[in-house]
């Protein structure tokens, strides 16, 4: 596949926003997420010609972004094994309707607090509706691991969202702002 300027324009237009969101979920802040997104496209420009199947561009971009992120955050993260029963029993109660009232940035903030190894699959799951097999391919981990990380990651996300919602409830809202709500 020969990378032309038109290819580049089209690929950037289609993927820069989802890639940025994925990067934001990984890094937790705007500037590193922007850098990571740009770096991913530069990598694609360099190595796009090696990609024979154009339908693989999306998966390649997400995989590359994740690898770039890991490259910049080299550290071994050990995380405990949890049985499914244990995970489900920990599930904090979070009303989806309450989450619906939150600003997207706050939800992203909660996602960014999730343990790194759970966060990446969870981000692809929510942001791009990647199936577990697509996540496995993109992140280079077994399908079973993806499924358990999704399960565990969702529990963590709920916990962070619950904390966030409780924090929101405790906030003192100026009278006029509250009235306007």
Partner 1 sequence: MNRTQAQFILGACPPGPLPTHDPQVAEALGLAETDGVLASWLAETRSFDAVVAQKLRSIEPPADLKDAILAGRRRLAPVHAMPGPPQKQKRGRPFLWALAAMGVGMLGVAVFREADDGEADGQVAEASAAQDVPGDLRKAAAKFLSEQWKHDFDYPESSFPKIQQWAAEQPDHARIEVPADLATSQTYGCKVFEWQGHRAMLVCFIAKDDGQVIHIVSVDRSALPDAERTAPEQAPIFAQVGPWNTAAWSHGTRRYVALSTTAPETLAGYVRPQRL
Residues that bind partner 1 (CB under 8 A): 2-5, 8-9, 12-13, 16-17, 20-21, 24-25, 30, 34-35, 37-38, 41-42, 45-46, 49, 84-85, 88, 94, 96-97, 99-100, 102-105, 107-108, 111, 123, 125-132, 146-148, 150-151, 154, 157-158, 161
Q: Phi and psi at residue 172, in whole multiples of 5°? A: -90, 115
CB of 12 to partner 1, least distance (A): 5
Closest CB to partner 1 among residues 4, 73: 4
Closest CB to partner 1 among residues 2, 175: 2
Of the candidates 43, 2, 3, which has an alpha carbon nearest to the alpha carbon of residue 19? 43
CB of 176 to partner 1, least distance (A): 26
CB of 8 to partner 1, least distance (A): 6
DSSP readout, 82-133? Answer: --HHHHHHH-----HHHHHTS-HHHHHHHHHTS-HHHHHHHHHHHHH---HH
CB of 15 to partner 1, least distance (A): 10
> Which H helix or E strand runs over 35?
helix 30-47
Closest CB to partner 1 among residues 125, 174: 125
Closest CB to partner 1 among residues 57, 179: 57
Instruction: Encode burial over 25-49: b for 16+ CB neighbours within 10 A, e otherwise.
Output: bbbeeeebbeebbebbbebbeeebe
Closest CB to partner 1 among residues 76, 89: 89
CA distance 101 to 76: 36
CB of 34 to partner 1, least distance (A): 5
Residue 132 · residue 150 · CB < 8 Å: yes
């Amino acid at each position: 596949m020969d990378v032309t300027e038109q290819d580049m324009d089209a690929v950037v237009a289609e993927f820069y926003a989802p890639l940025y969101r994925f990067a934001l979920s990984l890094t937790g802040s705007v500037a590193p997420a922007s850098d990571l997104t740009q770096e991913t496209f530069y990598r694609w420009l360099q190595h796009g010609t090696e990609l024979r199947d154009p339908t693989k561009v999306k998966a390649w971009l997400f995989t590359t972004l994740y690898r770039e992120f890991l490259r910049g955050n080299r550290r071994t993260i050990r995380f405990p094994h949890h049985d499914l029963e244990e995970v489900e029993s920990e599930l904090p109660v979070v009303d989806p309707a309450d989450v619906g009232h939150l600003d997207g940035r706050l939800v992203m903030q909660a996602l960014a607090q999730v343990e790194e190894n759970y966060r990446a699959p969870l981000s692809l799951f929510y942001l791009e509706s990647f199936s577990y097999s697509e996540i496995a391919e993109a992140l280079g981990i077994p399908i079973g691991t993806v499924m358990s990380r999704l399960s565990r990651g969702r529990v963590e996300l709920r916990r962070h969202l619950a904390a966030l919602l409780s924090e929101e409830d405790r906030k003192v809202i100026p009278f006029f702002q509250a009235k306007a709500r």
